[in-house]
Structure 1
Amino acid sequence: MDIETPLRLPEAFETGIPSVDAEHRDLVATLNGCLRAHDGENISNFENRLGRFIAELRLHFVNEEMLMKDAGYPGLEKHARHHQAWIEELRGLLDRLRERGAADQKDVVAFFQRLIADVSKADIKFVEYLWSHDKFDDFKDR
């Protein structure tokens, strides 16, 4: 697998909340950095690079959950459990890559696909809640 074009989130997955969308773009940029570190066979320094992604993702989840709390989002507890499960899943994947001793583009794409799934399902539900409860305007500048 050789990826020549950078990964990017489709515009349809933008939430309209500037801080959330910026963090999503930053997460994708971190994954693109992993892809640029591909030496034709493996990703150099993959443990630090993918570990950084997980750390950035945790911070993003904290920020996102604070927004949900501020909005009185009834799905916050479920969403937070979903976040925790994803972090554990990614840590498990990173542990397996460490055992293997290498990571390649396919592994980075797996992280990206998981990000796409999260944004397209869980985050969009939160935005739908904001719109349906006339709260979106309170968050469009955050």
Structure 2
Amino acid sequence: MTDDSGRRAFTLPSTFYIHYNDIDPEHEALIDIVNACVARLVDGVLEDFEEPFRIFVERLTDHFRHEEDLMRDLGYSGLQWHADHHAECLTRVENLIAHMQAQGYAGMRELRVCFHDIIHDIVHADLKFGEFLNGAGLIPRRQ
């Protein structure tokens, strides 16, 4: 997805990739949903936001479940903390959607908040899991 200049509105920095299973493509798919909303903004407003955000929440929930299943299967000791973090992320997204419903539209501000929440999850939780994977020899060592 690109903005009017031909660039993607939001991109996941490569330094935030986990390089394990389908985690990175799932992060990218979430960002693609946000970018699709950016592309549909008319004068900075997206009135028909409910369906894309329903899909976003569905995919986010599936992604969190997938990560937690991987962690459980690998015996990751940070699973409970990570699951609690995921629950907080979902609450923030639900609150954001309630805010958009009250104002009647999604704007660039709300889309930016959504993107930042994905980044927040990766930085505060997923990279720790990546360190575990690295230590277990399950992903290539980072330079």
Identity %: 30
- Equivalent residue letter for 1:84: A
Instruction: Confirm whether residue 52 of structure 1 aligns to residue 55 of structure 2.
Output: yes
Q: What is the CA deviation profile of residues 8-61 of structure 1, one whole-angstrom value per residue up to 9, with x for unaligned ones?
A: 100000001140011011111111111011011311411111221111100000
Say whether the 8 Å CA contact 2:47–2:104 is kept in structure 1.
no
Deviation at 1:89, TM superposition (A): 1.3
SS in 2 for 1:109: helix
Question: Which of 99, 102, 105 is 1:102 aligned to?
Answer: 105
Say whether the 8 Å CA contact 1:97–1:103 is kept in structure 2.
yes
Say whether the 8 Å CA contact 1:127–1:136 is kept in structure 2.
no
Q: Which runs of 5+ in 1 are unaligned?
A: 138-142
Say whether the 8 Å CA contact 1:34–1:49 is kept in structure 2.
yes
**Counterpart residue number, 1:136:** 138
SS in 1 for 2:22: helix
Name whichever structure is richer in helix by fraction: 1
CA distance in structure 2 between the aligned counterparts of 1:131 and 1:15, rounded to whole angstroms: 9
- Equivalent residue letter for 1:130: L
User: Under a length normalisation based on structure 1, what TM-score does the superposition of the two structures give?
Assistant: 0.88
Deviation at 1:135, TM superposition (A): 4.4
Q: What is the CA deviation profile of residues 111-130 of structure 1, one whole-angstrom value per residue up to 9, with x for unaligned ones?
A: 00110111122001001012
User: What does 1:28-67 correspond to in 2, within 5 Å?
Assistant: 28-67=31-70
Give the RMSD, CA atoms, in angstroms.
1.3
Larger displacement relative to structure 2 (8-17 or 39-48)? 39-48
Question: Which of 16, 26, 29 is 2:29 aligned to?
Answer: 26
User: Under a length normalisation based on structure 2, what TM-score does the superposition of the two structures give?
Assistant: 0.88
Instruction: Confirm whether residue 93 of structure 1 aligns to residue 96 of structure 2.
Output: yes
